[in-house]
Amino acid sequence: MSEIKTQTQEEPDTALPEINKTSQIVIKDLWKVFGRDSKRVLGKKYKDLSKDEIQEKTGCIVGLRDINLEIKKGEFYILMGLSGSGKSTLIRNLIRLVNSSSGSIEINGKNLTKMKQEELIEFRRQTYGMVFQHYGLLPHQTVLDNAAYGLKVRGIVKETRYEKASKVLETVGLKGWENYYPGSLSGGMQQRVGLARALVNDPEILLMDEPFSGLDPLIKRQMQDELIELQDKLQKTIIFVTHDLHEALKLGDRIAILRNGEVVQVGTPEEIVTQPADGYIQEFIRDASPAKVITARSIMEPAKILLYAWEGPKTALTLLRANKRRGAFIVDKSHKLLGVAQEDKLEKLLIKPGKVEIIPKSALRQVTSVSPDTILEDIFSIIIKNPYPVPVVDENNKLLGVVTSDQIFESISPMEGEDNV
């Protein structure tokens, strides 16, 4: 999540350790064809035909066509597309609820497509947690029992499964609801129970197939926000299916867009919006706001004038006047942002009794800074209130660049259409 902070004093480095982003899931040349004698579709005679042509000539339906994807450990990966694009078929292939026609799916180096049934069942239990649109809660069992259901199936004793389920329910915000029944809960709360049930086994991979599509818009946004916060804590590999572009842009680290069973484009939200692969993607993202995905990192530039704390007020004032500026960012020897040195305050330092060798921090104006991952939408309010460009800093408060109002409007205006000024 993006970070905005006011520059006051040097802050300790509290960043989480970087996740090992090795590929956890590798999908190669994956096909799924539905219909009688579907293997013939993979032969030379039909393989290169369109989906409609294959259906017309063979009666078979191509669900997935030559899918090649890699999903990294700890990644929030979105599968999206319109109805019939193949996104739900793909997620069902990942757990072999549907068996592929050809190709391979490797998870943690193990080929899922080669597993025998007993091995597959155990692998699913150890690896996956699943959350679907329809919660599938047991209406005559309590919230606690529903959350603990997966542990019960595995034969975990009651005391242990209740203890684990209670902790997960607290994690998803349902502490105090353990003894209620699903019928007493709102749709959003029921979905939290479904999420708790998926998390109680501590799965490596969480599969979510349009989990929020049945919720009211307000509850849906709330659940999205809670999932973002939860993922920040748990760092699971999440594969999330949706047809909602705004949901995909909000949640995903990367997005794979499918059409007619094929992957059309894979990229970060920012890449999808700013570099659509073809006309289909352009139409798909037509109503997407670039301000919700373009980040400070993409548009920041070096500060046009930069002052250094050790130069002294006289040198700083000379540089400001030479560049016709009334203020500029000032950094220390480690390039850490200290604030803004202003012309009027520098002049006051020069008339003080005694010689002032360096510019004291008390003479600097404190400013609001942002992280490189801050989206433009979150920078708007800062730009409006701030007479200076917005500084972009890393986790150690090192100045990386600045964002100006001109840069923001230039980055957005091309997406608004050629007729706009």
Cβ atoms within 10 Å, residue 163: 13
Q: How far apart are CA 370 and CA 374, in angstroms?
A: 6
Convert 342-402 into a string of H (helix), E (strand) and C (coil).
Answer: EHHHHHHHHCCCCCCCCCCHHHCECCEEECCCCEHHHHHHHHHHCCCCEEEECCCCEEEEE
307 and 200: one domain? Answer: no
Would you list the DSSP string of 72-123? ETT-EEEEE-STTSSHHHHHHHTTTSS--SEEEEEETTEEGGG--HHHHHHH
Q: Which of 256, 275, 291 lies at the terminal end of a domain, its last residue? A: 291
Q: How far apart are CA 322 and CA 267, in angstroms?
A: 44
Q: Is the pLDDT of residue 378 over 90?
A: no
Structural domain total, the chain: 2
Could you tell me how far CA 66 lies from the centroid of its own chain?
Answer: 26
Q: How far apart are CA 33 and CA 344, in angstroms?
A: 73
Q: Which of 263, 291, 319 lies at the terminal end of a domain, its last residue? A: 291
| CATH at 317 | 3.10.580.10
pLDDT in tens, 216-232: 887 888 888 889 988 98
261 and 314: one domain? Answer: no
pLDDT in tens, 316-338: 888 888 888 888 999 988 899 99
Q: Is the pLDDT of residue 286 over 80?
A: no
217 and 245: one domain? Answer: yes
Please report whether residue 90 resides in a domain.
yes
pLDDT in tens, 63-117: 999 999 999 999 999 999 888 889 989 999 999 999 999 999 999 999 999 999 9
Please report whether residue 278 resides in a domain.
yes
Q: Which of 275, 291, 307 lies at the terminal end of a domain, its last residue? A: 291
Residue 18 has what DSSP assignment? P
Count of H-run helices and E-run strands, the chain: 17, 17
| CATH at 121 | 3.40.50.300
pLDDT in tens, 42-55: 988 888 899 999 99
pLDDT at site 11: 39
232 and 280: one domain? Answer: yes
306 and 258: one domain? Answer: no
280 and 332: one domain? Answer: no
Q: How far apart are CA 47 and CA 191, in angstroms?
A: 41
63: left (phi over 0), alpha (psi -120 to 50) or beta: alpha
Query: Which residue range forms the structural domain that includes residue 207?
Result: 71-100+111-291
281 and 325: one domain? Answer: no
Please report whether residue 52 resides in a domain.
no
Please report whether residue 244 resides in a domain.
yes
